[in-house]
Amino acid sequence: MTTAPLDKAMPLRKGGLSHTAVYWIGFVAVMAILIVAPLLLPEFWRRFLTEVLIWGLLAMSSDLLIGYTGMISFGHSAFFGLGMYGAAAALIMVSPPNLWLAIGFGLIGAAGAALFVAYFSTRLRDIYFAITTLIFSQIFYVIIFTWTRVTGGENGLIFTRPHLSIPFVYDVRFSTTTLHWFVLAVVTGSYLILRRVTQSPFGMVLQSIRENESRTRAIGYSVERYKIVSVMLSGLFAGLAGVLYAIQNEFAAPDFVYFLTSGDTVIFNVLGGIGTLVGPIVGAGFFQLARELLSRLFGDQFPYLIPLGVVFIAMIIFLPQGILGFARRWLNR
């Protein structure tokens, strides 16, 4: 990093289209594919794609912490699960089930969990942060698992899917296609918000915490406050993913609050490329596709996590940037 004057002016544009134009053309192209896809795909793969988008949203939310603030969360299952159970509460208690109420309840649940986790675990850095988030998510798991009267314990909760509605205007049953579009809209909206956040001055401070925490503090930023807000923001979007999952599958189960969900989230991030926001969605797609293909090739009992785990380890050692790592700088511009 030198401050010496450049010999010649840096070319701002190498002719052709500007970065922004290329970016948005690519964005529109991917969106077009994802919008048309459910019309062309058979039922199973339609559901599969919707689910990949939901897992992608979960992974994207944790990318805000891993890729931008530089904190690895092993506790995202807590936010995801609380979003799920929050939605379940709204859908079971209120009749007829209301979509927006479910989202609201889910977000409140996730925000509560996120506030709790953020307040305590942001006091710690690096590895300690990872461990405490893991332990906190296990607290929520134990509570949900043992509080059978309210949460249904091991069996979880079953409820009916709400209608897609705009109050007083529009009210229709979800089909798998409209559900896909709804999920796509939410995930795209979340992506645009998160992208805007990471490019805002707030996001810049988060990235400077990742690069050099003590220097950021020395400049005068209240690092703890920024960390708490970033954990909460991340938790909110993870909760949103939980709500979507609950709506898609019409149940909430303690398995999703368990550590394995958090582990998967981290894997999606590393496979797809941290610090890119879209990378984790690609990672989720890659992971789910590999899992599906492996169990189709070798049968349901095949331990697909063994080859995927080996790939994961190899990626950290040889390709820590992930699948989309080469495009990281470009995507964040």
Binding site residues, other proteins, CB under 8 A: 70, 72, 74, 120-121, 123-124, 126-128, 130-132, 134-136, 138-139, 142-143, 145-146, 259, 263, 266-267, 270, 301, 303, 305-306, 309-310, 312-313, 316-317, 320
Residue 172 belongs to what H/E stretch?
Answer: strand 170-172
Closest approach, Cβ 120 to other proteins, in A, equals 6
The least CB distance from residue 305 to other proteins, in Å, is 4
Nearer to other proteins, 29 or 260 (CB): 260
Our CB check for other proteins shows the closer of 267 and 324 to be 267
Q: How far apart are CA 331 and CA 333, in angstroms?
A: 6
Nearer to other proteins, 50 or 216 (CB): 216
In degrees and rounded to multiples of 5, residue 156 shows phi and psi of 75, -165
CA distance to 50, 59, 261, 292, per residue, from 265 (Å): 16, 5, 6, 17
Smallest distance, other proteins to C-beta of residue 217, A? 17
CA angle 77, 82, 88 (to 5 degrees): 130
Residue number, 99 or 266, with CB nearest to other proteins: 266
- Distance, in Å, from the CA atom of 114 to the CA atom of 75, rounded to the nearest integer, reads 10
d(CA 254, CA 156) in angstroms, rounded, equals: 6
**Beta carbons of 279 and 266 less than 8 angstroms apart:** no
Q: Tell me whether strands 157-158 and 164-166 are parallel, antiparallel or unpaired.
A: unpaired
Quote the CA–CA distance of 171 and 152 in Å, as a whole number.
30
Contact between 145 and 254 (Cβ < 8 Å): yes
Instruction: Tell the smallest beta-carbon distance from residue 127 to other proteins (Å).
Output: 5
Task: Compute the least distance from the CB of residue 259 to other proteins, in Å.
Answer: 6
Nearer to other proteins, 23 or 302 (CB): 302
- The residue among 107 and 323 lying less far from other proteins, judged by its C-beta, is 323
Nearer residue to other proteins within complex by CB, 46 or 227: 227
Q: Could you tell me the smallest distance in angstroms from the CB atom of residue 66 to other proteins?
A: 8
Look up residue 10 and give its DSSP letter. P
Shortest Cβ 79–other proteins spacing (Å):
17
CA 246 to chain centre: 15
